[in-house]
Structure 1
Amino acid sequence: MSNLDLTGCKKRKRGDKVFKFKNFGENGYPAEFVGSSFRENVKALVEFGHLESNLCWGMLCWSFQLEVHRHPPLHVLLFVVEEPIDASVNRHCKQCHFVGWGKHMVCNKKYHFLLVSKESIVVEACTKSKCNFHYNIINGTDSGNGMSSINDLVDSQGNVMHGVFHSNGFGHLLCVNGVEKGSDLPGFLILEFWDRLCTALRARKVSLNDISQKRGMELRLIHGIAYKEPWFGRWGYKFGRGTFCVTHQMYNKAIEALQSLPLCLLIHHLGPSNHEIPLIFSRWSPKRVEMATKVIVEALKRVKSRWISRQEVRDAARAYVGDTGLLDFVLKSLGNHIVGNYLVRRSLNPVTKVLEYCLEDISNVLPNYQESLAMSNSKLKANCKVTRFQLMKDMFYLNKYIFKDPKFSTGIFSAIQVAVRIVLDSKYLIKEYFGEIPSKIDLGLEGKVNLYCTILKRKNKEMVMNNPSLPPYECITMRKNATIDELKLEVEKIFKEIYWSLRSFVVEKISNLNAKGNDLAIELVEVGQKLVFEGKNKDDDDEEEEVYESGPRKYVVECICGAKDDDGERMICCDICEIWQHTRCVGIPNSDQVPHIFLCTRCEQEIIHFPSLP
Structure 2
Amino acid sequence: MVVSRPMKRLKRVVAEADTDSDSYSFYKFGDGDRERFQGPFRSNVRSFLESYAEGPLALKISSPPLVQRWKIGFRLDDDNICVALNVVEERVAGEEQQEEQRDLDQDQDQDLHCSHCRLAGWNGNPVCNRRYHFIIQAEAAFNTKCPCCQASFRSSSSRCKVCDYEISKETDLEEESQLALEDSSHLLHGIIHANGFGHLLRVNGREGGSQFLSGCDIMSLWDRICIMLRARKISVMDVSKKYGLEYRLLHAVQKGHPWYGNWGYEFATGSFALTFESYKTAVECLSRTPLISILSGVGKYNGQLKCTVQFYWSLSKKPIVTVQDLICFIMELLHKFHDCAVASKWPVLFSVDAPGESKWTSTEVDQVSSAMLRILQAADRSKWITWRDLKGAMPFSKDPELVDFVLKALEGKVLASRVVQCRRMFSTRTLEYRLEDIGSTAIESDNESVGSTWQSMQECVLEDLKMIYHALLQPLPAAALWHYGLGKQFADASRKLLDCKQFAKDYEAKHPIVMKDFCQIRVIAVAEILDEPKTAERPPPELLVLPQNATVADLKQEIVEAFKDVYICFKWFQVHNIPELQGREDSVNLMFLLGPESVVTVQGCFSGNVSMFRTERGDQIWTVKCSCGASEDDGELMIQCDKCQVWQHTRCVGILDTKGVPQTFICKECNEILSGTSCHSGHNMLGSSSV
TM-score (norm 1): 0.71
The answer (yes or no) to whether the contact 1:254–1:423 under 8 Å persists in 2 is yes
User: Shift of residue 97 of structure 1?
Assistant: 0.8
Of 27, 46, 61, the residue aligned with 2:69 is 61
Q: Compute the displacement of 1:354 (Å).
A: 9.3
Q: CA deviation at 1:542?
A: 1.6
Mapping 1:141-220, distance limit 5 Å: 150-151=181-182, 153=183, 155-156=184-185, 159-184=186-211, 185-220=213-248
Q: Secondary structure at the match of 1:414?
A: helix
The worse-fitting range, judged by mean Cα deviation, of 217-226 and 479-488 is 479-488
- Could you tell me whether the CA contact under 8 Å between 1:8 and 1:54 is conserved in 2? no
Shift of 1:475: 2.5
- C-alpha displacement at 1:199, in angstroms? 0.5
Match in the other structure for 1:97:
118
Determine if contact 2:641/2:672 at 8 Å carries over to the other structure.
no
TM-superposed CA distance for 1:257, in Å, is 1.8
1:566 is matched with which residue: 620, 633, 646?
633
> Secondary structure at the residue paired with 1:562?
coil
- Displacement of 1:131: 10
Structure 1 segment 219-258 matched on structure 2, within 5 A: 219-258=247-286
Question: Does the CA-based 8 Å contact 1:27-1:200 persist in structure 2?
Answer: no
Question: Identity of aligned pairs, percent?
Answer: 28
Are residue 50 (structure 1) and residue 54 (structure 2) matched? yes
Choose from 547, 551, 562 the match for 1:494. 562
1:454-506: per-residue Cα shift (whole Å, max 9, x none)? Answer: 22123xxx3366424x3333232223333322211111011100111101323
1:60, distance to aligned residue in structure 2 (A): 0.8
What displacement does 1:395 show? 3.5
Inter-partner Cα distance in structure 1 for 2:635 and 2:610: 26
Q: How does 1:337-416 map to 2 (within 5 A)?
A: 349=423, 356-357=430-431, 395-404=465-474, 405-406=477-478, 407-408=480-481, 409-416=483-490
- CA offset at residue 49 of structure 1? 1.5
CA RMSD of aligned residues (A): 4.6
- Partner residue, 2:29: 24
> Residue in 2 aligned with 1:453?
525
Q: Which residue of structure 2 aligns with residue 362 of structure 1?
A: none
The residue that corresponds to 1:522 in the other structure is 591
1:416/1:243 Cα in 2 relative to 1: closer, same or farther (>3 Å)?
same
Residue type at the aligned position of 1:500:
I
Q: In the aligned structure 1, how far is the partner of 2:67 from the partner of 2:249? A: 40
Match 2:601 to one of 532, 539, 551: 532
| Alpha-carbon shift at residue 532 of structure 1 (Å) | 0.8
Using a 3 Å threshold, how does the CA distance of structure 1 residues 588 and 191 change in structure 2: closer, same or farther? Answer: farther
1:204 Cα deviation (Å)? 0.8
Match of 2:610 among 523, 542, 548: 542
* Count of residues paired in the alignment: 509
Deviation at 1:64, TM superposition (A): 1.4
Structure 1 pair 487/222, CA: closer, same or farther in 2 (3 Å)?
same
- 8 Å Cα contact 1:443-1:450 kept in structure 2: no
Question: Which residue among 540, 543, 547 is the counterpart of 1:475?
Answer: 543
- Relative to structure 1, the CA distance from residue 352 to residue 99 in structure 2 (aligned partners, 3 Å threshold; closer, same or farther) is closer
The Cα of 1:535 is off from its aligned counterpart by 1.7
Closer/same/farther in 2, CA of residues 273 and 599 from structure 1, 3 Å limit:
closer
Give 1:451 shift: 2.0
Residues 427 and 460 in structure 2, CA contact (< 8 A), matched pair in contact too: no
Q: Deviations over 1:279-306 (max 9, x none)?
A: xxxxxxxxxxxxxxxxxxxxxx999699
User: Residues 593 and 254 of structure 1: is their aligned pair in 2 closer, same or farther, counting only changes over 3 Å?
Assistant: closer
5+ unaligned residues in a row in structure 2: which ranges?
10-19, 98-108, 146-170, 307-364, 393-397, 409-421, 434-456, 675-691
Assess, with a 3 A threshold, how the Cα gap between structure 1 residues 573 and 133 changes in structure 2: closer, same or farther: farther
Is it true that 1:508 corresponds to 2:576 in the alignment?
yes
* CA distance, structure 1, for counterparts of residue 661 and residue 252 of structure 2: 31
Tell me the distance in 2 between the aligned counterparts of 1:219 and 1:4: 43
Matched residues in 2 for 1:58 and 1:276: separation? 59
Per-residue deviation at 1:396? Answer: 2.9
CA drift of 1:271 comes to 3.9
Task: Give the 3 Å change call, closer, same or farther, for CA 254–116 of structure 1 in structure 2.
Answer: same
In the alignment, structure 1 residue 586 sits paired with structure 2 residue 653: yes
Q: 1:288 matched to which residue of 2?
A: none
Of the structure 1 ranges 206-215 and 482-491, higher mean CA displacement relative to structure 2 is found in 482-491
3-state SS of paired residue (1:585): helix
Shift of 1:237: 0.7
1:432 aligned residue? 506
Per the alignment, do residues 5 and 176 of structure 1 end up closer, same or farther by CA in structure 2, a change over 3 Å counting? farther
AA aligned to 1:566 is D
What is the one-letter code of the residue matched to 1:68? L
Task: Tell me the equivalent position of 1:265.
Answer: 293
Please name the residue that 1:422 is paired with.
496
Q: Which consecutive unaligned segments of at least 5 residues does structure 1 have?
A: 135-146, 279-300, 360-386, 608-614
For 1:107 and 1:18, how far apart are their aligned partners in 2? 31
Deviation at 1:411, TM superposition (A): 1.8
Name which structure has the greater RCO, CA cutoff 8 Å, separation 6+.
2
Query: How far has the Cα of 1:423 moved from its partner?
Result: 1.4
Rounded to whole Å, the distance in 2 between the matches of 1:224 and 1:271 is 25
Partner of 1:83: 90
How far the C-alpha of 1:578 sits from its partner, in A, is 3.0
What is the CA–CA distance in structure 2 between the aligned matches of 1:100 and 1:488, rounded to whole Å? 31
- The residue type paired with residue 574 of structure 2 is V
Q: Secondary structure of the equivalent of 2:44?
A: helix
Contact 1:5/1:133 (<8 A) preserved: no
CA contact (8 A) 2:44 2:230 kept: yes
Please, which of 532, 535, 557 is the counterpart of residue 463 of structure 1? 532
3-state DSSP class of the match of 2:651?
Answer: coil
Residue number in structure 2 paired with 1:485 = 553
- 8 Å CA contact 1:34, 1:41 repeated in 2: yes
- Tell me: CA distance 1:604–1:450, structure 2 relative to 1, closer, same or farther (3 Å): closer
The equivalent of 1:74 in structure 2 is 81
How far off is 1:4 after superposition?
A: 9.6
Match of 1:552 among 597, 619, 626: 619
Larger mean Cα displacement after TM superposition, 576-585 or 519-528 = 519-528
Matched, 1:600 2:667: yes
User: 2 CA distance for matches of 1:436 and 1:226?
Assistant: 24
Question: Whole-Å Cα distance in 2 between the matches of residues 215 and 233 of structure 1?
Answer: 19
Checking the alignment, whether the CA contact within 8 Å between 2:136 and 2:187 is kept in structure 1 is yes
**2 CA distance for matches of 1:123 and 1:313?**
66
511-520 or 44-53: bigger deviation: 511-520
* Equivalent of residue 40 in structure 1, options 43, 49, 63: 43
Report Cα offsets for 1:55-114 as digits up to 9, x if no partner. Answer: 55231100112111226x322110000000117712211111111111111111000000
Distance in 2 (CA, whole Å) between partners of 1:443 and 1:33 is: 10
**SS of residue matched to 1:244:** helix
Call closer, same or farther: CA 1:62–1:576 in 2, change over 3 Å.
Answer: same
Deviations 1:128-169 (A, max 9, x none): 9579879xxxxxxxxxxxx6xx33x2x13xx11000000011
Measured after TM superposition, the shift of residue 23 of structure 1 is 1.7
Q: How far apart are the structure 2 equivalents of 1:186 and 1:90? A: 31
- Give the secondary structure class of the aligned counterpart of 2:289: coil
Q: CA deviation at 1:54?
A: 3.0
Structure 1 residue 410 displacement after superposition: 2.4
- 2:265 & 2:305 partners in 1: Cα distance? 46
